[in-house]
Structures are given as C-alpha cells and as structure tokens.
Amino acid sequence: MDTNMKTKVSVLFSGGKDCCLAAVMLSKFFEVELITCNFGVLSNWKKAEQVAEKLNIHFHVLKLDERILEEAAEQTIKDGFPNNGIKYIHQKALEEVAKISPKESLRDPTGQAEFIADGVRRDDRVPVLSLPEVRRIEDKFKVHYIQPLMGYSRKTINLLVEKFFTIKEYKSSASFIGAEYEFELKDAIKKKYGIKKIQEIFPKGHTHSIVVKVKRAYT
C-alpha cells in the first residue's frame, strides 16, 4: 500500500515498550504520528522524542493545561494512591489529541484526528478506561479509539518486544525520569505537599521501560 494513501493515527507516546509496539503494529495499516502529552513542568518529553527518532516516526509534543495536572494531584492526594489521578490525565490527553487543530499536527481533511490510539494492554490496571468512557470519547469527538495491545498479555507482549527492540527498565524512584504522566504528577505533589507524601502514595519498586535500540526494520 502507498504510504501516502494510509489513514493517519495519533498514538499517545512515552517511549516505553508498550506504546512503541503499538506504533509498530499500527504502522502496517496507518500513517502513524507519535504524541507525547506534557504540562511543561518537566522536559521529560525529550526522552520520548529520542525514541521516536529511533523509530523514524513523526513526533509531536502536545502541552496540556496545568489545571488537569492540579486536579489529578488533588485526586491522588484524596485517594491516597495514584491510579485515578493517572487515569484522569490519560483520559484528558486522549480528549485533547482527539480535538487538536490541523495546524498543530498531521490531520485528515476534516481537521479531526479520525483515529487515536495508545499502548494500554490487557493486563494493565492503569490507565484503563471503561467501555462507557471509551464510547463517550468516540461519540463526543467523532474519533475511533484503538487499543492494539488490549488482546495481548504481558508475557506475549514481552516476546514481541524482544523481536523488535532493546529496552531499558528503570524504577520510578530512580534518577532517570521518563516521559510518562507519573513524573510530572509526582513533581506537582512534591512541590505542594513535600517528598514524604510521594513516598507514602506511590508504590515502591514500580518499573517503567524505554526503548534504547530498534533491532530490525518493521515497515
């Protein structure tokens, strides 16, 4: 199929193994653009940009309203755990990607992101949207929301990742800061409530991944 004839899909992107695999899978059928949502609090989006360059896929940073981050932080403090706060950011990110103007990124002729996607998988607990929440986004913004990894287990995804990428895994408490929502959320809570609150709320030893090498061509 001629690449120029492919329909575009906007994939929420952190540079981790799941969203990279999702982008690779979708590239067989779509013209993929990678979008990292950021609040401008940290410059951690640069980590995702570096991975996008390795994948040789168009990359775009979308700055979200800091009020979303503030609301997510307050939800996290109220709950005493980060799940709902992270899910809230993810849901808002999907909505903003769905309605982004054509001047800011690659679009179909209607000016709407006709297809949006992420790397959420079957075993994930966060940031998984319920079926009614998915339908609300699709109906409200007139988009198709694709989750290409939803039918795959962690074990299967790891096998597929091994074929295409070399990854680095790191703990969220380490000095390495990835492009996931969690890091700006932590920063917002730390500034207002102190580092001790971070240690109380966020699970210790939680790991993230980032792709450091693409092993083989996938197009």
Average pLDDT over residues 54-71: 95
194 membership: H or E segment, kind and range: none
pLDDT of 1 strictly over 70: no
CATH class of the 3-214 domain in this structure = alpha beta
pLDDT of 66 strictly over 70: yes
Domain boundaries, the chain: 3-214
- pLDDT at position 5: 60
pLDDT digits (tens, 9 = 90+) for 32-61: 999 999 999 999 999 999 999 999 999 999
Please, which pLDDT band fits residue 102 given cuts at 50, 70 and 90? very low
Residue carrying structure tokens 């979708």: 26
| Mean pLDDT score of the chain | 88
Taking CA atoms, 85 is separated from 71, 88, 151, 191, in Å, by: 8, 5, 25, 16
- pLDDT at position 13: 97
Q: Is the peptide bond before 127 cis (omega within 30 degrees of 0)?
A: yes
Please, which pLDDT band fits residue 167 given cuts at 50, 70 and 90? very high
The bridge status of strand 207-214 relative to strand 165-171 is antiparallel
What token pair was written down for 158?
Answer: 């790891």
